[in-house]
Structure 1
Amino acid sequence: MARYDWSSGQVYHELIVRQEMRAPLPWEHWCQGAKLSKHRSSYGADSLLNSALRKAVCNIRHVDPDTLRALPPSIVEIIWKAVKREESFGVWKQFVEAGFGSESTPHFARIGRLDKPLVDHFITMRSPGFGWLVDLELSVLDFSHQDFKSLSVLHNLENLTVFRESPTAGSGISSVSNPFNDGSLAALSSRAAAEGTLTRFRRLIIYDAKGVTEKSFGILCSFPALDFYCVVGTGVKPRRNAVAGAHGWMRTAETSRFSRYIQEYNLRFQYDNHGHASLRDIIKGFVQKQRSEEHCNSAVLTCAIRPGQSENPCLVQELSQIKVFERDWNFHEAASRVSDTKRKAPAAELDPKNDSLAKRRKIKDGKRIGFDQMLDGL
């Protein structure tokens, strides 16, 4: 059938083929009352199927598993490829329950305000359809340590971002009864160590959690592969680098690298309804860039650009709060060698009477001195 497209001035041919479905497709529901012809005219010469699929992708949150099962697999695959890197955990769950989306490539899952216990989400995410999950961003308003340690079921998890969602006006919630803190990390660490899981866990970003303090450095040492720890708006003091170093963590120059990262690409990041830059998007983009550079020479950046916006002063202020720590593997290797030496040493060598360090610590000017004072005198 020959047709004329008024917007482009071109003549095109359209072939309409009848395709049997198990159930009628809710096109009007997907298009929310808009006529496909009107939507199609804005895109020029295009097929009816592509126009319908484009509207279906725009309204994918209204689709249920039964509707997806009624579609031919080829159409569902087109929709899945269009939304798998964009949509939330809830949308992905619909595809998994419909029998699609079981791929081996990593994706970024976002879980918003919880409508049920956190462990229920992870029970779904450990199913075969979510075996590819590598990145997780967790926005929580209220949860317990018991819920958080259920993260250990995600065997392939490599990158975790946790941020506390502030109660909104009119929500009826005045405060968070179970704030995210060091105890949450300790619960996850203990469970993972007991089960031997989270062996691929490499990066942790915590945003706006005042209950996370310097104790977290010792807790996180139990994760064998963790080497990147970024905290923003937490209880970790910027001048407490000695505490981090005592557990084998070192403060890096990542803060300046964040600034260069923004200036180099001249990025304008996503803004929320209040007009403030989203620091989580900046950190997420930076971590994705670092991870891509580990596997290839060129980094792929996908950041939303808002033209005409100047540098946001709130962004500059928040960037100054970023504290990034990396694992000092030389420290852990040296500590491991010392531990092995002590286990293998004969009992005579460990005798305090033969230990020169113990002799130096005994008495100085009639007073017992501490370890730090002893080092000052060397």
Structure 2
Amino acid sequence: MKTRLANRVRSLTPSSTLAITAKAKELKEQGHDVIGLGAGEPDYNTPEHIIEAAYTSMKEGHTKYTPSAGLASLKQEIADKLKRDQNLEYTNKEIIVTSGAKHGLYTLFQVILDEGDEVIIPTPFWVSYPEQVKLAGGKPIYIEGLEENEFKVNPDQLKNAISSKTKAVIINSPSNPTGMLYSKEELRALGEVCLEQDILIISDEIYEKLTYSGHKHVSIAEISPELKAQTILINGVSKSHSMTGWRIGYAAGDKQIINAMDNLASHSTSNPTTTAQYGAIAAYSGTQAPVEEMRNAFEERLNIIYNKVIQIPGFTCIKPQGAFYLFPNVRKAAEMSGFESVDKFAEALLTEAKVAVVPGSGFGASDNLRLSYATSLDQLERAVERINLFVTNKME
């Protein structure tokens, strides 16, 4: 039969995080004791009051369609959260609820990009950014966040990457995979370039609640009214409230863009899952104690495991300020262990040491590995011991 796949999907690169997860699962099913450090989700269950609210909503008959942009009551809770946390004011018409933050990004790219439009993506980047841009007919333009600058880009880099085809730039703070945050001053400097050149700012803030060592998340939209008008915020409950499987995210920003996203969603998803929306209402309106409990646990794990990771021969690592990932440079370790690339090194860690990590090449940083500490401290310590032993034995 003749191949009927569209060109737009033939060029897609499979998700490296999902590929590692699938391989680790396969080995586990064969009886191997695999420790997975590839997870991009908290290991906590969703807080009980959220589960109860979703259950109650079903019992009360809230199982039908909602508006395609989401329940008005949930949009109001999101607006209240943005006012409470960042002192930002949005109307319901400036907010759309999406089927996860990933779907929010996908829909946004679909409504703002024409064929050949460029989106500037700092590296290291979350794996889906460039693929979603390409699916919308756009072209990813990469600028390198150097390790010596905490993986962050500066205004000159941004300015030099802008062309007549530039439509937007993505800022992800705290970052997946690096865990680094942009300061208010750094964001202001980048924002000035965007205002001068009139390019849209896409601010992915999904890890905003997970920051450590006294570091605080700052949204670029809260710096000035001009930057707020230039920014589309992307966020959701997945990481903050351990609701990855509920698939509730949101976008907030320019009313015209949000309306276009609503129109597109009406022809694709109809609406985000109704029950999950009621759970999200409880997430934002109820106690935030579980959020802080989880953040404290991640910070404790980070402080313990970071000190162990940097002792592995050939590993260097900047201590992250947020999210729940370590992103060590392991090029030297891979070479000392006899591997031609970090990808091969990561593959051997899985098949021989039985530790699943994600190679940095999927994030645009081929010298690094991403290690998630969203798992128990016992598992983390065992995994690091295995990696250390693996490298040490390979060096002998």
Global fold match (TM > 0.5): no
TM-score, structure 1 as length reference: 0.29
Calculate the TM-score normalised by the size of structure 2: 0.28
Structure with more contact order per residue of length (Cα contacts < 8 Å, sep ≥ 6): 2
Q: Which has the larger radius of gyration?
A: 1
